[in-house]
Structure 1
Amino acid sequence: MYTKDAQFQYDDIIRHQNSVEMGRPPGSILADLLTANFEKTKLKGAINEMICYAGYADDTFIVCSDQQQTKHMVNLFRDADTNIQFTMEYKKDNDFHFFNITVQQRENGTVQRSAYRKDMWDDIYMKLNSFCSISYKTALIKTLSQKGTDMYFQYTESKIIER
Structure 2
Amino acid sequence: MLLCKPLPPTFVCLPLPDLTCHLLLYMSPTVMANVYMGYFEDMALGSAPLKPTMWLRYVDDTFILWPHQEDIQALLDHVNSIRPSIQFTMEKEKDNQLAFLDILISRTEHGFKTSVYRKPTFTGQYLNFNSHHPYSIKHGIARCLQHRAETISSDTITYHQEMVRLKNTLCHNNYPDSILSTRRVNSIREENETKKPPTVCLPYIRGISEKIQRICAPYNIRTVFKSESTLRRHLVRVKPRMEENMTKNCIYAIPYSCRKVYKGETCRPLKVRVEEHRKAVTKGETEKSGIANHVWMEREDHRPLWDEVRIINRETLWKGRKLKETAHMLGHNNLLSKPSIELNAIWTPLIERENLE
TM exceeds 0.5? yes
1:16-52 per-position Cα deviation (integer Å, ceiling 9, x unaligned): xxxxxxxxxx886565333212122232354983122
Is the contact made by 2:116 and 2:149 (CA closer than 8 Å) also made in structure 1? no
Paired with 2:42 and 2:71, the residues of 1 have a C-alpha distance of 19
Q: What is the aligned partner in structure 1 of residue 118 from structure 2?
A: 117
Instruction: Name the structure 2 match of 1:87.
Output: 89
Instruction: Pick 1 or 2: higher relative contact order, CA cutoff 8 A, min separation 6.
Output: 1
Code of the aligned partner of 2:65 = V
Label 1:76 to 1:103 Cα distance change in 2 as closer, same or farther (>3 A).
same
Larger strand share, 1 or 2: 1
Consecutive unaligned residues of structure 1, counting only runs of 5 or more, are 5-25, 130-135, 157-163
Q: How does 1:147-158 map to 2 (within 5 A)?
A: 147-152=148-153
Q: Within 1, Cα distance between the matches of 2:141 and 2:93?
A: 30
Q: Deviations over 1:105-126 (max 9, x none)?
A: 1134x01111111111234577
- Return the alpha-carbon distance in structure 2 between the equivalents of residues 47 and 93 of structure 1: 28
Change (3 A) 1:32 1:80: same
Which residue of 2 is the match for residue 41 of structure 1?
43
Paired residue secondary structure (1:119): coil
| Structure 1 CA distance for aligned equivalents of residues 86 and 123 of structure 2 | 30
Partner of 1:71: 73
TM-score by length of 2: 0.30
Contact 2:92/2:98 (<8 A) preserved: yes
| Contact 2:115/2:154 (8 A) holds in 1 | no
Per-residue Cα deviation, 1:80-111 (whole angstroms, up to 9, x for no partner): 22112311001111111111111111134x01
Instruction: Determine the C-alpha separation between the residues in 1 that align with 2:71 and 2:151.
Output: 32
Secondary structure of the structure 2 residue equivalent to 1:49: coil
In the TM superposition, residue 65 of structure 1 has moved relative to its aligned partner by 2.1
* Partner deviation per Cα, 1:46-83 (whole Å, 9 max, x = no partner): 49831222111111111112463511211122122211
Q: Residues of 2 paired with 1:104 and 1:116: CA distance? A: 11
Return the match for 1:3 from 1, 9, 15.
9
Identity %: 24
- Secondary structure at the counterpart of residue 89 of structure 2: coil
| Structure 1 residue matching 2:77: 3-state secondary structure | helix
* 1:112-148 CA-partner distances (Å, limit 9, x unpaired): 111111111234577997xxxxxx9998776544322
Residues 1:76 and 1:144: Cα distance change in structure 2 (over 3 Å) = farther
SS of equivalent to 1:105 = strand
- Give 3-state SS (helix, strand or coil) of 1:102's partner: strand
Instruction: Count residues in correspondence.
Output: 132
Larger Rg: 2
TM-score by length of 1: 0.59
Q: Following superposition, which runs of at least 4 residues in structure 1 exceed 4 angstroms of deviation?
A: 26-31, 124-129, 136-145, 153-156
Q: Secondary structure of the residue that 1:113 maps to in structure 2?
A: strand
Q: Structure 2 stretches of 5 or more lacking a match?
A: 1-6, 11-27, 132-136, 158-357
The answer to whether the 8 A contact 1:28-1:58 is kept is no
Q: Which residue of 2 aligns with 1:10?
A: none
